[in-house]
Amino acid sequence: MAMMNPCTVYLFHGQGGVCFNMTQMDQISELNTEDFTVAVEPGVTRKTLNNFLRGSGLWFPVDPGADASLCGMAATAASGTNAVRYGTMRQNVLNLRVVLPDGKVLHTAGQNRRPRKSAAGYHLTGLFVGSEGTLGIITQATLRLHGIPEATVAAVCAFSTVKAAVDTVSLFSFSIPEFLDDVMMGACNRYSGLNYPELPTLFLEFHGSEHSVGEQVQATGEIVKSNGGSDFAWAREQEARNQLWTARHNAWEERNPTTDTRQRVAMCASLSPRKLHPTFLLQGYSTDVCVPISRLPEILLETKKDMLESKLTGPIVGHVGDGNFHCLLIHNPADEGGRVAEFAKRLGRRALAMDGTCTGEHGVGLGKRQLLREEVGEVALSTMRQIKAALDPKNLMNPGKVL
Amino acid sequence: MAMMNPCTVYLFHGQGGVCFNMTQMDQISELNTEDFTVAVEPGVTRKTLNNFLRGSGLWFPVDPGADASLCGMAATAASGTNAVRYGTMRQNVLNLRVVLPDGKVLHTAGQNRRPRKSAAGYHLTGLFVGSEGTLGIITQATLRLHGIPEATVAAVCAFSTVKAAVDTVSLFSFSIPEFLDDVMMGACNRYSGLNYPELPTLFLEFHGSEHSVGEQVQATGEIVKSNGGSDFAWAREQEARNQLWTARHNAWEERNPTTDTRQRVAMCASLSPRKLHPTFLLQGYSTDVCVPISRLPEILLETKKDMLESKLTGPIVGHVGDGNFHCLLIHNPADEGGRVAEFAKRLGRRALAMDGTCTGEHGVGLGKRQLLREEVGEVALSTMRQIKAALDPKNLMNPGKVL
């Protein structure tokens, strides 16, 4: 296996496991600015790549919030705020170099291949994207880059109800809409010293040419108005945009490396009406369902009701253009962990009952194996298991996960 | 298995094969105009679906030319002219109902599921799209629909060289560009009584809002001009667009059901400098390579040179925004078949040498198995075979194809 940098191997004697630290495999190679392609090793994060691309006019837009490893993002089919416009990792990985369980090196689309489309045999790239390390170890990803838009405009508007906010989103065809509920807006106000109305709020971003962005902003403003939204605060320059989006950034660590999980928990906890626990005992648990967009208002309302009845605290943030949202449940695992787990399971089943998925972008891991079975059914699960058994007959790769 | 309509089974005693005629499974169901989703059975073609959608404001844009079965298009990972803007079948299939070799019915994303994105387990939908019937029989596809653009504008412009035309394409970020070479333009002129310059020509289509389309046309016109292109003929109304695109439509049967293969062959044959064969003996053979866009001018020039040296006649049409092009080789199989096959193999290898694929959208079938091996390598081929063996251990499904 050709490796540019070593990876460190850790042995877990207790459970018989082995863990690979690949942060030092950090080569960025094969940048082609004409074809909008680049190859990255597992140690390369999305911010590192975008810094590397500075000045080229290109960027990699998939943004799951954290400054994650791009190969890890491929392994988990990550997406985030920009997916509604640029696609998830599924649409932005052209090729993967994978070490298979038998030690052979697989290039999912063939070595060095990077055409924008192909119909050559089974779509192995698509199979390995989202396989969560259970089929092999990704040691390089060839990615599709995008042109940095000529103009970007950010906008914020509040609504009196969740339904009004979310119904509005389905009328947009171009913006990148993010939803923050009243609870999250309250948390952001207290944590960041802001003064937003504590109402269901849409944060929007528009990308395009100068003209088309202006047109998008105008059309969206009209839709917002006719759906009872507040006046439309908008910003064009990077700094003003950052200021406007401060709440959204802080809400989910996005683009703000200083807001670590502990701080986010503290931020969300700051609004808890139940000051039962010292902050240091609290943890955050994020849900991740995704439903067809028409079902979003219904599931958001039912979920907020359930949260209230379950006596849980959890602001809601959503990539609502894709029908995907997260509740960040702030809880003390010692005495609320059980209730959180039950709530999350009910939420997963609620999404399944609405033709949705229990995981839009976080993956299955250990926690959602039962929900996966309910979501895809026995035949699909058994098909996945046949593939796993065929490619990893000794069950060496991330055993026990997903299936 | 729940079937709304019967499918007819044919037995091929000679080769021990069975063939399913599924044209009568023609239900369109579960149209959801809010979520832009619909489910179709194998008997539903793309034109039937788009007629069904008339008045809904929605359409299904993937357009491989022929009025193909949508489930068949899923099975072969079809794409075509609009893929550069709307994606191929890979990006537009949300779920598949598949009868597996053991008779079980698989829903690749789980029954009735249609979220816009998901990270729930292995991406079986992506695996079955493009599997060419070798893993199971697709009996329903859930598709993603798109809003019909507010405005559509078509444009045509000619260039003095292939390189100038194709280099221009890489500067466009928004249009749907199709390339016809000088030979194809000559054929179109003679067949349809048109009067286009017999030069490398780009046919462009712009989709968007009224304003943005106007802006796109203007920006593109400037790029075309600065790259030495001819004046920009453009049309806005449906009829004018159809007239402008007549050549492109006739070129490849697209949107023109009356131009069948025989007629296309006749059209292309009409320009043959070598009137050696009566038209009825001629056949068309279409190549299908796809390369990174930066390599397009080079491969087009080399291919035209090879065609000349090989004494073959073949106009070239390309979905050049994706780096994909086809030579339609007009030949008499009796005495030119061997030369055509050798030419096609050389072209496939030329694409592989340029980091491309031997098939952008037609698939592997029987003819490209050797090229597939060269393209993806032994490890990928063996991984594909392991998957095939796991899911179809008795090799019942389209045996001998692809792998």
DSSP A364: -
Same domain, B83 and B198: no
- Domain presence at residue B58: yes
Q: What domain range includes position B42?
A: 23-147
pLDDT of residue B254: 38
pLDDT of residue A343: 97
Query: Is B15 in CB contact (< 8 Å) with chain A?
Result: no
Same domain, B237 and B188: yes
pLDDT grade for A272, boundaries at 50, 70 and 90? low
Contacts A324 to B, Cβ<8 Å: 115-117
Query: Is B32 in CB contact (< 8 Å) with chain A?
Result: yes
Average pLDDT, chain A: 88
- Domain presence at residue B4: no
Contacts B77 to A, Cβ<8 Å: 118-119, 123
Interface probe, candidates B96, B355, B381, B388, chain A, greatest A C-beta count within 10 A = B355
Same domain, B214 and B312: yes
pLDDT tens digit sequence for B32-48: 999 999 999 999 999 99
pLDDT of residue B246: 72
- Among the candidates B92, B114, B147, a domain finishes at B147
Classify A48 as helix, strand or coil. Answer: helix
pLDDT tens digit sequence for B72-94: 999 999 998 899 999 999 999 99
- Among the candidates A96, A114, A147, a domain finishes at A147
C-alpha to C-alpha distance for B248 and A44, rounded to whole angstroms: 44
Same domain, B215 and B268: yes
One-character DSSP codes across B187-235: HHHHHHT----SS-EEEEEEEE-HHHHHHHHHHHHHHHHHTT----EEE
pLDDT of residue A9: 74
Same domain, A298 and A394: no
- Domain presence at residue B274: yes
pLDDT of residue B170: 74
User: Which residue in chain B has the smallest CA separation from A102?
Assistant: B379
User: Which residue in chain A has the smallest CA separation from B348?
Assistant: A120
Same domain, A312 and A384: no
Contacts B37 to A, Cβ<8 Å: 292
Query: Is B293 in CB contact (< 8 Å) with chain A?
Result: yes
Identify which has the larger pLDDT, A151 or B241: A151
Place of tokens 């626990």: A277
Same domain, B109 and B155: no
- Asked if residue B19 has pLDDT above 80, the reply is yes
- Among the candidates B128, B147, B166, a domain finishes at B147
CB contact set of A262 (below 8 Å; sequence gap of 6+): none
Phi, psi (degrees; rounded to nearest 5) at B268: -70, -35
Q: Answer whether B356 sits within 8 Å of A208, measured CB to CB.
A: no
Neighbours of A275 (CB within 10 A): 9
CB contact set of A260 (below 8 Å; sequence gap of 6+): A253
pLDDT tens digit sequence for B294-348: 999 999 999 999 999 999 988 999 998 999 999 999 888 888 999 999 999 999 9
- Residues forming beta bridges with residue A153, ordered by sequence position: A206
Least confident range of A46-50, A60-64, B184-188, B351-355? B184-188
ipTM given for this complex: 0.92
Domain holding B262: CATH number? 3.40.462.10
> Minimal Cα–Cα distance from B19 to chain A, Å?
22
pLDDT of residue A236: 76
pLDDT of residue B187: 82
Least confident range of A69-73, A214-218, B136-140, B146-150? A214-218
- Domain presence at residue A2: no
pLDDT of residue B1: 41
pLDDT > 70 in chain A, percent: 89
Q: Residue type at B284?
A: G
Extract the tokens encoding B172.
């466009």
Same domain, A100 and A142: yes
C-alpha to C-alpha distance for A95 and A296, rounded to whole angstroms: 34
Contacts A391 to B, Cβ<8 Å: 383, 386-387
Q: Answer whether A130 sits within 8 Å of B123, measured CB to CB.
A: yes
- Domain presence at residue B221: yes
Contacts A126 to B, Cβ<8 Å: 90, 123, 126-127
pLDDT of residue A391: 98
Domain holding B46: CATH number? 3.30.465.10
DSSP B104: P
Host H or E run for residue B78: none
Query: Is A257 in CB contact (< 8 Å) with chain B?
Result: no
Number of domains in chain B: 2
Least confident range of A118-132, A273-287, A303-317, B80-94? A273-287
Least confident range of A30-44, A201-215, B1-15, B245-259? B245-259
Nearest by CB: A384 against B118, B121, B173 = B121
- Asked if residue A212 has pLDDT above 90, the reply is no
- Domain presence at residue B334: yes
One-character DSSP codes across B133-192: TSS-EEEEEEEE-EEPPSEEEEEEEE-SSHHHHHHHHTT-SSSEEEEE-HHHHHHHHHHH
Neighbours of B369 (CB within 10 A): 15
pLDDT of residue A1: 41
Classify A341 as helix, strand or coil. Answer: helix
Same domain, B64 and B156: no
pLDDT of residue B264: 56
Contacts B177 to A, Cβ<8 Å: none
CB contact set of A312 (below 8 Å; sequence gap of 6+): A329, A331, A336, A339, A340, A343
- Domain presence at residue A39: yes
Give the rounded distance of the alpha carbon of A309 from its chain centre: 28
User: Which residue in chain B has the smallest CA separation from A33?
Assistant: B294
- Asked if residue B2 has pLDDT above 50, the reply is no
> Minimal Cα–Cα distance from A266 to chain B, Å?
29
Phi, psi (degrees; rounded to nearest 5) at A257: -65, -15
Same domain, B267 and B243: yes
pLDDT > 90 in chain A, percent: 64
pLDDT tens digit sequence for B311-322: 998 899 999 899
Identify which has the larger pLDDT, B276 or B45: B45
Q: Answer whether A115 sits within 8 Å of B323, measured CB to CB.
A: yes
pLDDT grade for A50, boundaries at 50, 70 and 90? very high
Interface probe, candidates A118, A169, A171, A382, chain B, greatest B C-beta count within 10 A = A118
Same domain, B219 and B336: yes
Same domain, B293 and B280: yes
pLDDT > 70 in chain B, percent: 89
Span B154-166, mean pLDDT? 91
Q: What is the tally of helices (H) and strands (E) in chain B?
A: 14, 16
C-alpha to C-alpha distance for B125 and A167, rounded to whole angstroms: 29
